[in-house]
């Protein structure tokens, strides 16, 4: 970009110099990290902005049938994805996955996790192992506090209920069914890559607060099995973990027909609501990190309340929060009441935030806690 040189005044007076500010880097959402079987020179994350880059970095592991990783990445870009990371695994084991998850912690821009090869194989032993691996992913997302897992069901309609119960009560994840039939592939593949693309596309066109549902899937020929409206209702009981179904609707194509998390808590049962709050935490860690180690006193409380209020109002203006006026959409409190002497003595600064997301209608309360270890959202 050309720079504008200041005009040197020729006579005494006032001159106007145009200064173009450097834009702040964007807080990206809809950026998954894929884990799967692939051959690579190292096990470090590789950033992809095109599906064709996959073959530049990765190859097939000798002696192992081709998994689903390449097709999942392709499905991500076909459905509107812009950026993703891939971490290759040498073996499809819990130990290798846990090592990969630890490696992924250095990535700051990712907010989604997809592991298509977890469901590689179909016998009972492999399904049990896959569920254990999914539990490890969900626990990783809960611990990190800024990631959401897009998980695949087993490719068997009779096993859906068992898997749903095994993965219930996790807030930061969602299950999707059934598998997808795509071009140039005899076997169906897990849907997580295509769903991640839907998330990314929804984030780009509307925002992270938008429900990534009722959106047609691209690059899909058919479904591995069909789910009726009655079966879907049975898999999505109130205040229980749900399974989001992909339905083939007459005249409307194949669409994501569900937006439920695995949480049994009413306030976290919708994917878009949960991701909104995870993104709020990411924003706080990124933009309020410079307040750590500041004197825990009135000036700091005022600053935190001001900056948090500005961000909350921006969410309201975008349509992420309910209410005709800001007071109906959110509140922020950071004062002597939220920071009593006993809290200040241990180096904690607490800001209380209440948000009214578009779904559900009630306030959901957050506590932003600053300590020497960083900022956390509870």
Per-residue pLDDT tens for 88-146? 999 889 999 999 999 999 998 999 999 999 877 655 567 788 899 999 999 999 999 99
Q: How many C-beta neighbours within 10 Å does residue 190 have?
A: 31
Helix (H, G, I), strand (E, B) or coil at 306: helix
61 neighbors 39 (Cβ within 8 angstroms): yes
Beta strand pairing call for 222-223 and 243-249: unpaired
What three-state secondary structure class fits 228?
Answer: coil
User: Could you read off the pLDDT of 196-210 as tens digits, one per residue?
Assistant: 999 999 999 999 999
User: Which residue's entry shows tokens 């935490």?
Assistant: 281
- 208 within 8 A of 279, measured Cβ to Cβ: yes
**Which residue would you say has higher pLDDT here, 329 or 240?**
329
Angle at 152 between CA 149 and CA 154, to 5 degrees: 145
The confidence score (pLDDT) of residue 172 equals: 97
Q: SS3 for 152?
A: strand
Name which residue leads in pLDDT, 42 or 370.
42
Residue 271 has pLDDT above 80, yes or no: yes
The more confidently predicted of residues 120 and 345 is 345
% pLDDT > 70, the chain = 87
pLDDT band at residue 18 using 50, 70 and 90 as cut-offs: very low
Backbone angles phi, psi at 249, to 5 degrees: -105, 130
Say how many C-beta atoms besides its own lie within 10 A of residue 213's C-beta: 17
Would you tell me how many other CB atoms lie within 10 Å of the CB of residue 373?
9
What is the model's pLDDT at position 359? 75
Sheet containing 46-48: order of strands: 46-48, 84-89, 32-37, 112-114, 148-152, 173-177, 243-249, 253-257
Chain-centroid distance, C-alpha 194: 14
- In terms of C-beta density within 10 A (0-12 exposed, 13-18 middle, 19 or more buried), how is residue 123 classed? exposed
pLDDT band for position 363 (cuts 50, 70, 90): low
Q: What are phi and psi of 181, to 5 degrees?
A: -100, 125
Residue 336 DSSP class? T
pLDDT digits (tens, 9 = 90+) for 1-12: 455 554 555 555
**Closest C-alpha to 355, from 277, 239, 302, 254:** 277
153-188 confidence digits (pLDDT tens)? 988 888 888 899 999 989 999 999 999 999 989 899
358 close to 343: Cβ distance less than 8 angstroms: no
Fold of 32-267: Rossmann fold (3.40.50)
pTM over 0.75: yes
Please state the rounded mean pLDDT for residues 26-52. 93
What would the mean pLDDT of 232-237 be, rounded to a whole number?
80
State how far the alpha carbon of 268 is from the alpha carbons of 114, 138, 261, in Å: 20, 15, 7
Instruction: Please state, rounded to an integer, the average pLDDT across all residues of the chain.
Output: 87
Among 284, 373, 267, CA closest to 334: 284
pLDDT given for residue 362 in this prediction: 38
Please, is 270 exposed, middle or buried when counting C-beta atoms within 10 Å of its C-beta (0-12, 13-18, 19+)?
buried
State yes or no: pLDDT of 281 exceeds 70. yes
Percentage of the chain surpassing pLDDT 90?
63
Which pLDDT belongs to residue 290?
Answer: 87
CATH number of 288-377: 3.30.360.90
Count Cβ neighbours within 10 Å for each residue of 344-372 and write b for 16 or more, e otherwise: eeeeebbbbbebbbbeeeebbebebbbee
29-33, 53-57, 63-67, range with the lowest pLDDT? 63-67
C-alpha span between 57 and 261 (Å, rounded)? 33
pLDDT of residue 10: 54
pLDDT reported for residue 128: 84
Q: What's the farthest any 2 CA atoms get from each other in the chain?
A: 86
Give the N- to C-terminal CA distance of the chain in Å, as an integer.
42
Structure confidence at residue 116 (pLDDT): 94
257 pLDDT higher than 60: yes
Q: What is the CA radius of gyration of the chain?
A: 23
Model pLDDT, residue 272: 95
Distance CA 151, CA 133 (A): 11
Q: Is the pLDDT assigned to residue 60 strictly greater than 90?
A: no
Query: How much is the average pLDDT of 273-277?
Result: 96
C-beta atoms surrounding 11 within 10 Å: 5
Round to whole Å and give the CA distance between 316 and 331. 11
Strands 32-37 and 222-223: unpaired
- pLDDT, average across residues 27-41: 94
Indicate the domain borders of the chain. Answer: 32-267, 288-377
Q: Given a cut of 50, is residue 297 above it in pLDDT?
A: yes
């Amino acid at each position: 970009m050309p720079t504008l040189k200041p005009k040197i005044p020729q006579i005494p007076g006032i001159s106007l110099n145009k200064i173009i500010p450097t834009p702040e880097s964007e807080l990206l959402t809809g950026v998954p990290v894929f884990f799967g079987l692939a051959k690579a020179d190292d096990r470090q994350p590789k950033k992809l902005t095109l599906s064709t880059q996959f073959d530049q970095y990765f190859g097939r592991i000798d002696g192992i049938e081709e998994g689903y990783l390449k097709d999942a990445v392709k499905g991500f870009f076909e459905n509107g994805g812009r950026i993703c990371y891939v971490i290759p695994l040498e073996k499809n084991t819990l130990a290798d996955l846990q090592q990969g998850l630890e490696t992924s912690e250095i990535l700051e821009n990712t907010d989604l996790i997809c592991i298509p090869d977890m469901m590689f194989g179909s016998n009972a032993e492999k399904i049990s192992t896959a569920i254990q691996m999914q539990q490890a992913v969900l626990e990783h997302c809960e611990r990190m506090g800024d990631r959401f897992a897009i998980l695949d069901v087993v490719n068997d309609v009779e096993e859906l209920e068992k898997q749903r119960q095994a993965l219930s009560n996790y807030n930061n994840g969602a299950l999707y069914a059934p598998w997808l039939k795509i071009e140039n592939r005899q076997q169906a593949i897990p849907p997580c890559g295509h769903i991640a693309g839907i998330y990314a596309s929804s984030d780009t066109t509307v925002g992270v607060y938008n429900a990534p549902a009722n959106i047609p899937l691209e690059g899909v020929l058919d479904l591995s099995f069909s789910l009726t409206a009655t079966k879907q209702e049975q898999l999505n009981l109130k205040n229980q973990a749900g399974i989001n179904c992909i339905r083939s609707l007459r005249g409307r194509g194949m669409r994501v027909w569900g937006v439920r998390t695995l949480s049994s808590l009413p306030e976290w049962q919708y994917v878009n609501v949960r991701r909104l709050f995870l993104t709020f935490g990411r924003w706080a860690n990124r933009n309020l990190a410079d307040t750590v180690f500041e004197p825990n006193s009135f000036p700091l409380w005022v600053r935190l309340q001001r900056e948090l209020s500005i961000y909350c109002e921006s969410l309201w203006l975008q349509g992420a929060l309910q209410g005709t006026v800001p007071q109906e959409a959110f509140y922020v409190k950071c004062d002597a009441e939220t920071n009593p002497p006993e809290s200040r003595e241990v180096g904690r600064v607490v800001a209380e935030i209440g948000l009214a997301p578009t779904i559900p209608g009630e306030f959901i309360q957050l506590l932003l806690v600053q300590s020497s270890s960083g900022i956390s959202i509870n």
